[in-house]
Amino acid sequence: MPGTILLMDNIKDVLDKWGSLLEGAGYRVLKALTLEGAEHVLRDRWVHLAILDIRMVDEDDENDISGLLLARKPDFAAVPKIVLTAYKSFEYVRMVLAPNEEGQRPAVNFIAKDEGPRKLIQAIEQAFADQIRINWNLDIQWDQREPLSFPHLASLLQPDLSNDILVQRAGELEDLVRRLFYDYQQIRFGRLLWHDGHRFCVPVLARSPQGTADPRILVCGDRERLEQERKKLDGLAPQTFQGARLAGTAETTHFGANAYELPGADIETVQTLRDLFQIGKERPLKTALAHLLGDVLEAWHQHGQMVQETHDLMSLYRQWVGLADDDASQAEAEQRVEWLVQTARTLGAVEIKRGGGVVTFHFPSQSPVSYPDPVATVYAPLTQYDSPVVCRASPGWLTAENVLVDAEQRIWLTDFARADQAPQWWDFVCLEAAIRFDLSRAPELVAWQEFEECLVSPVYLHDRLQDKGGIADLQTSVALIEQVRRQAGSEAGPDPLPYYAGLLAWAVGAMACYDPRVLYTQADRMRGVHLLLAASMIVGRLGEMTASSSPQGELRLEDDGSVWVGDHCVASLVGQEFDLLQCLLKHALEDQFVSRQTIVESVFGEQYVAGDVSQESRINSLISRLRDKIELDQGNPRILTVKSKGYRLRR
């Protein structure tokens, strides 16, 4: 395969002469007489190599290093460069070939024009072998049932391209893959797992020349996003993380690729959470969800925790769902929701009226029900919640597509682009929202109303969901959501208010994604109306929760770790949290406080060392975690600090 080379020189005769020589050597040459022309080619086209002159502005000015400055631009770092110049000095060579702090050189070689074409061709061949590394002999095969193509994949990443640019991007994408699988003989693409307009994910089986087959999950997309994804995974993933491992990366001008391996998983049987849900069997779904919640997410959440200075939880949620903090954003969200209200009329199942800060739903044969407008609620501070927001390391945005499940119901995460510190309820909110809004199917909108009533009724996250059993299609969803909430309550405490607020923000963010210019299917429009109904009912529930009080009654700890306040199970404890509460309860019965020494000796099982900073820190951390889980009323705490002595529990 011929390589494509950008050749830049400000003297036309020189450009034509060297251009002809390179074409004679079998290369495709794109010529640029100016810096702007060269930059245009580098930005818009895909070239394997750039050959750049140094003095592009003034031939007589030894300070003119404009060509070198172009070579240094980070945007074009993925394209190797050779400097071709008439001006030979060791200072120029230093500027061109000395590595910077990151170990990167502006160019891969420095050739003097009077060294002649053979020297240049040698340097080009060397660059193709050492830096460009495109596996021209790679045999690329496609899934026969759901075949893909590079133009199709390129159009998923950059949907609005003209045909001629699309052809170029498809070629660039193919080179990216040939670069990533440089050491392989053959690869076979599986079916598309997910795409989000900027990236796509697909399984690839790669065969080496020795015949070994290496399964990979390939994520391709915008180069900077992929680089960011690598950094986030590197910085945030827990060391004990047993998930996808980065096995290789490659870059071109516009695209980047990350290849992940799934140790121990049979990639041919891996399916998305959506696929598994559509099979309809509850047991494997619950097993997979248990692995996701108890192993994968818990490892992430324990890996990093921080307390945000802000108390404005809703503002943090808005950032996560992509709603900007300004009036224009709110106005646009309002318009999108208004469009959904109009759309509902065409569905005929419900009449929706919106105005004066209220949304009213008229279901057939029922009295109208009104709720406060969800958009306004999302754009206002959550007055019922006034505590510093605890954030934990999160893999980002979990969806029904980017969570993969293998044959043994083990979970594999594939999307880390938005990994960050997120409000501690966020991952659970995403999971519930995926089940609630993207996976669940109901025959009619009235069924959604029953479903939503069931989901907004609990007083605590641990409460059982009162599924009336009317809609068989939704029973699995209810069971799975209950499973998610139980883990959320166990990790973040039983208070459902911040959790419901996250669901509300998720739903409004999803409604704001509806673009009136797009032609939606009836199912898509039904989902939009379901989002509006759910968001409205959640807002109604949040309003009720303002007036509600914390549960009353005695605090009990059962042998299975469940913590009860009156009739409500408020938390589930294991390990040291269980031991600590047991210790506090035992002393509370005798109306005694628990000293820090007792905690170290009884709970940690260690000898107490007065002034040991590590022990003090672990005690504080354990007390804090227990408070998060069992304190329901911040104004009336159960665990009291006995200054300089220890802690006392009010049962």
Partner 1 sequence: MTKVLFINGQSDRHWIESLEQTALCLGESLELADHQHLEGVSFQNYALIIIDAGAVNNPISTVRHIRSCNSQVRIVMVSSTPHWKQARETLLAGATDYVRKVDGREAILDILRGSLFRMREGGS
Nearest CA to 491 out of 425, 578, 565, 590 is that of 425
Scan residues 83-142 and list those touching partner 1 (CB under 8 A). 88-90, 92-94, 97-99, 101-103, 105, 109-110, 112
Distance CA 243, CA 354 (A): 45
By beta-carbon proximity to partner 1, the closer residue of 61 and 91 is 91
| Exposure on the CB side of residue 377, measured as CA atoms within 13 A | 27
| Residue 115 C-beta: closest distance to partner 1, Å | 9
By beta-carbon proximity to partner 1, the closer residue of 86 and 442 is 86
Q: Where are the alpha helices (DSSP H) in 182-323?
A: 223-236, 273-279, 282-291, 298-303, 313-321
| Residue 72 C-beta: closest distance to partner 1, Å | 16
By beta-carbon proximity to partner 1, the closer residue of 98 and 613 is 98
Which run of H or E residues covers position 361? strand 358-362
| Residue 89 C-beta: closest distance to partner 1, Å | 6
| Residue 85 C-beta: closest distance to partner 1, Å | 10
Binding residues for partner 1, total number by CB under 8 A: 16
Amino acid letter for position 575: G
| Residue 223 C-beta: closest distance to partner 1, Å | 23
Given a contact cutoff of 8 angstroms between Cβ atoms, the answer to whether 627 and 637 are in contact is yes
By beta-carbon proximity to partner 1, the closer residue of 94 and 281 is 94
By beta-carbon proximity to partner 1, the closer residue of 112 and 290 is 112
Nearest CA to 529 out of 543, 510, 542 is that of 510
Nearest CA to 244 out of 207, 211, 201 is that of 201
| Residue 91 C-beta: closest distance to partner 1, Å | 8
| Residue 80 C-beta: closest distance to partner 1, Å | 13
What is the CA angle 278-279-280, rounded to 5?
A: 85
Phi, psi of 85 (to 5 degrees): -140, 155
- The DSSP bridge pattern shows strands 255-261 and 213-222 to be antiparallel
By beta-carbon proximity to partner 1, the closer residue of 127 and 599 is 127
Distance CA 324, CA 330 (A): 8
| Residue 135 C-beta: closest distance to partner 1, Å | 24
Residue 559 sits in the site that holds partner 1 (CB under 8 A): no
| Residue 109 C-beta: closest distance to partner 1, Å | 7
Own/partner long-range contacts of 407-412 (Cβ < 8 Å, ≥24 apart): 407/266, 407/269, 407/270, 409/284, 409/287, 409/288, 409/291, 410/264, 410/265, 410/288, 410/291, 411/243, 411/288, 411/291, 411/292, 411/295, 411/296, 412/217, 412/243, 412/244, 412/262, 412/265, 412/270
By beta-carbon proximity to partner 1, the closer residue of 126 and 158 is 126
| Residue 57 C-beta: closest distance to partner 1, Å | 22
Q: Where are the alpha helices (DSSP H) in 390-471?
A: 426-433, 445-456
Greatest Cα-to-Cα distance within the chain, rounded to the nearest angstrom: 98
Given a contact cutoff of 8 angstroms between Cβ atoms, the answer to whether 405 and 276 are in contact is yes
Residue 372, both tokens? 């406060």
Stretch touching partner 1 by CB under 8 A, among 27-35, 73-81, 82-90, 159-167: 82-90
Q: How far is CA 365 from each of CA 361, 471, 565, rounded to the nearest angstrom? A: 12, 19, 40
By beta-carbon proximity to partner 1, the closer residue of 93 and 446 is 93
| Residue 99 C-beta: closest distance to partner 1, Å | 6
Distance CA 427, CA 417 (A): 14
Given a contact cutoff of 8 angstroms between Cβ atoms, the answer to whether 434 and 398 are in contact is yes
By beta-carbon proximity to partner 1, the closer residue of 111 and 431 is 111
Distance CA 142, CA 189 (A): 5
Under DSSP, the state recorded for 567 is T
| Residue 231 C-beta: closest distance to partner 1, Å | 15
Distance CA 360, CA 373 (A): 9
By beta-carbon proximity to partner 1, the closer residue of 95 and 350 is 95
Given a contact cutoff of 8 angstroms between Cβ atoms, the answer to whether 73 and 67 are in contact is no
| Residue 103 C-beta: closest distance to partner 1, Å | 7
By beta-carbon proximity to partner 1, the closer residue of 119 and 286 is 119
Q: What is the residue whose two structure tokens read 């001629």? A: 164
By beta-carbon proximity to partner 1, the closer residue of 102 and 327 is 102
By beta-carbon proximity to partner 1, the closer residue of 108 and 512 is 108
By beta-carbon proximity to partner 1, the closer residue of 102 and 309 is 102
| Residue 151 C-beta: closest distance to partner 1, Å | 39
By beta-carbon proximity to partner 1, the closer residue of 126 and 384 is 126
Given a contact cutoff of 8 angstroms between Cβ atoms, the answer to whether 448 and 470 are in contact is no
Distance CA 321, CA 337 (A): 15
Nearest CA to 572 out of 563, 582, 581, 559 is that of 563
Residues that bind partner 1 (CB under 8 A): 88-90, 92-94, 97-99, 101-103, 105, 109-110, 112
